[in-house]
A and B are shown apart, each in its own frame.
Chain A
Amino acid sequence: MKNFKKVIAALLCSAMVFGLVACGDNAGNSSNTGSSNVTDAAASGSTETATSGDAKNIICSEQPENGEYDPAGATAYVYFDLQSYCLEGLIDYDEEGTVIPAAATSWEANEDGSVWTFHLKEDGYWSDGSKVTSADFLNTITRALDPAKGAWYVDALFLIKGASDAFNGTASIDDIGVECPDDLTIIFTLASPCANFLDYVRLPVYMPSNVTYATNADEGWDTDVTKNLGNGPYHMSDYKSGEYITFAPNEYYSDRDAVKFDTLTFKFMDDDQAKTSAYKTGEIDILSGAPYYVEDQYADQADLQSADVLVTNYILFNINMAPFDDVRVRQAFALAVSRQGICDVIGSCYTPSTTFVAANYKSKVDGTKWSDLQGALLDENIEAAKQLLADAGYPNGEGLPTITYTYPSMSYEADVAQVLQAQWQQLGVTVELNAMEYEVYVDARRAGELQLARHQWTGDYNDPATWLDMYRDGNSQNDISWLNDEYNQIMTESASEMDTAARQALLQEAEKILVSEDTVICPLFTTKSLYLVNPSITGQTNYVMGYLDFRFADITQ
């Protein structure tokens, strides 16, 4: 009872705090009227654009805001809008996926791909007119290696010699393998060879951040339009938390004339009905991530556009749990699947796939789609599946332990699970379905607790290794701790193979082990993402990473 007075005192204190918070509302509310006018201008501007032809203010829908706008931070999807439009990395891709110069005009590697030197362009400028230097690139790297920063893509930096030690505090940040001999040269020394390092430098942690403004000490710099500068075609010109982010042209960009829009605003929208309605009323010009039913509504109309996404949805067998410790059972389950049967149920945007590397990935050798290159890695043969199951000692599924398929409770996953359940029933196997909330599912899957799990992987960078590296020994994404010496050997070999064609052959071989021989995963389908685009917008390109790129698009009458 002695503490009772203290408790009461504490409660009263908290009441006062809420009083203060309540007072704050009014202050915040009145200061807000000014900025809402900006929105007015932006919002009404766009609908008139198509008719008046004056200012070219384009409005695009975006998912609800999440994460930071700092390449060395929690880079959720909204960050990637900033990266695509405002930041210019060392290299870029053209529409065919060929590497082209961007912030770096040239680069060279040593013979095994363990030392990479980049030469920056002379006329690279930030949106405040200052020059882009090698220090800006180093800035993001050193900031991301600060453990307190919580950079999401920091793993990608561990390729660099000494970076992992610096992150864990066992070595100095000054000793990492990144050197800037002058303002326009940056040299990476890697911990081990990486033949496709060029693909990695498109990841957020390799993007530049202005050395003057972007510091870890200043936590709010990334949403401050005077500090979050762009070195790409656009820069952040307006931002309202939870509402929108606006980009305006970088006046100092080397190809300024190719940038046509006066502003490009991304509005954070959640509801599908809200998005499609706003598109119909002309309040937004571009609807990204459109719901699948617009494919029917807008069939044969110029509004409907799509981009192939580098993603594979697949089943992960837990090789450490019976009965999936037996490769014959894994193959039986894989062969019993009818992918078209799944796609028929979940919608026309989905395409069957038997490759783990995204079916739409384009070969760097000749641009062939990966699915054509590999052919069918898994048959669909129910008789063979039954035979395999019988060989494994479970004729017609008799004697099998309870099997549970776990999936995250989101969008189409429940439909996929039910189709799979029905298809496996043909084997005589009754599979139980278990839906989990997404974050819980991720936890359980990563802990290796799921017997049979849905999995999906979107490529982080444009190379088969973004998928195939996951199941290398020791990779943190190898949730089932699969260990195959031959696979690891081939993957190590491919990392230092600088010949593109020879490297691709190795990766194709590795994928066959993973999918056809050992069948630790069973690929199901890939997808495309749908857009509704105001038909007067032209010049957008299908970017190789799976989205429409409006950087150099224009709007006509």
Chain B
Amino acid sequence: MVKYLIKRIGIGVLTLFVLVAITFAMTKLMPGSPLQSKNVSGEVLEKMEEKYGLNKPVIEQFFIYCKNLLHGDFGTSYKKVGTEVTDIILSRIQPTLRLGIVTFILTLVVGVSAGIAMAKTKSNFIRGLWLSGLTLGVSVPNFIVALLLLIIFGVQLRWFPVLGLDTPMNYVLPAIAQGLYPISAVARLTQTSYEDVMRQDYVTMAKAKGLSSSAITFRHILKNALLPVITYMGPMVAFLLTGSVVIENLYTIPGIGKEFVNAISNHDYTLVMGITIFIGAIIIICNMISDLICSFVDPRIKNTL
């Protein structure tokens, strides 16, 4: 187990390093200077580039960046002058995190229970209805869902506020918009694997022993049926934590996804780098955790790696 853990962490760190190198190279290849947008004169521009070390050779800049990174220093933003990138990331991740947690809970509760309900229903009509609903949920892009919810329930019916995340009511629309896809995916996954497990011999055995229905569902079926759901949860959590630009823009949530896109269009190199590394780390860690949980639930997995 320890060996597996070390191996996974090693791969994660290596991936991260490659990510840092590639992102750094890409920001340098991006045409246009981050300091150019304001119409400052030549001499002022020179002084500013000197201040940020942009006049040094690219390789040297990279090593300076890596060195600072090891001290936990992501540098200061070019556009929000004097603000540490770390501070920006820490303040922007909070709204994303809050919305992400709400959506995550919503997804698990609704997705898993819907999946079980689907697997258990015997009516073909309801199954067909469910299935088309899920297909719709998976295939309609979230910006359309977000926009429809905003216009219908926000502007027309005025049931929910549409600006920011200030009150609990503010979470309803963005969480549904963001959650529709993962809910549908989780429901479908739960359904298929639940149906598979239901047909297993040990479930028939448990039924034959006369165990109660809830004991069979939770102890015997769900534990095994949720394995694919757990695998899916890694990328899903990463997806929720990295924020959706569309939803954050539409509901004016000052989250990390929105900041990321702003940083790119502003040519704010240090901020782009910082957020990329941060998001990269989240994705790597989330995948790692879901793999670890899987190997814990199903000991056969670690042998195959």
A residues touching B (Cβ–Cβ < 8 Å)? Answer: 8, 10-15, 17-18, 20-22, 24-25, 28-29, 32, 36, 39-40, 43-44, 64-68, 73-74, 76, 147-148, 150, 152, 154-155, 167-168, 219-220, 222, 240-243, 267-271, 273-274, 277-278, 280-281, 283-284, 437-440, 442-443, 446, 476-477
Contacts and interface: CB of A to CB of B under 8 A. Distances in A.
Interface in B23-64: 31-44, 47-48, 50-51
Interface in B2-22: 9-10, 12-14, 16-17
A68 B80 contact: yes
B258 interface: yes
B80 A65 contact: yes
B203 interface: no
Given A17-B72, A39-B166, A154-B44, A68 B81 contact: yes
Given A22-B285, A28-B94, A278-B163, A14 B83 contact: no
B17 to A, nearest CB: 5
Interface in B175-195: none
Given A11-B13, A13-B70, A220 B82 contact: yes
A73 B81 contact: yes
A556 B86 CA distance: 44
Interface stretch (B128-136, B147-155, B292-300): B147-155
Counting contact residues on chain B (CB < 8 A from A), the size range is: 35 or more
Contacts of A32: 94
A217 to B, nearest CB: 11
Tell me what chain B mostly uses at the interface: helix, strand, loop, or mixed. helix
B145 interface: no
B139 interface: no
Contact of B37 (A68, A73, A438, A476): A438
A141 to B, nearest CB: 15
Nearest to A439: B32
Contact of A155 (B41, B72, B166): B41
Given A14-B16, A477-B39, A39 B164 contact: yes
Contacts of A438: 32, 37
B51 A273 contact: no
B70 A10 contact: yes
Nearest to A276: B155
A511 to B, nearest CB: 20
Q: Which 4 pairs from chain A and chain B are nearest by CB? A: A439-B32, A476-B41, A219-B82, A147-B47
B69 A17 contact: yes
B239 interface: no
Given A17-B69, A442-B37, A437 B32 contact: yes
A481 to B, nearest CB: 13
B79 A67 contact: yes
A476 B72 CA distance: 39
Given A39-B164, A68-B80, A25 B90 contact: yes
Contacts of B97: 25, 29
Given A66-B266, A74-B81, A21 B13 contact: no
A476 B162 contact: no
B66 to A, nearest CB: 8
B161 A281 contact: yes
5 contacts: A21-B90, A43-B163, A66-B80, A154-B40, A241-B87
B254 A29 contact: no
B249 A270 contact: yes
B155 A280 contact: yes
Contact of B252 (A219, A269, A440): A269
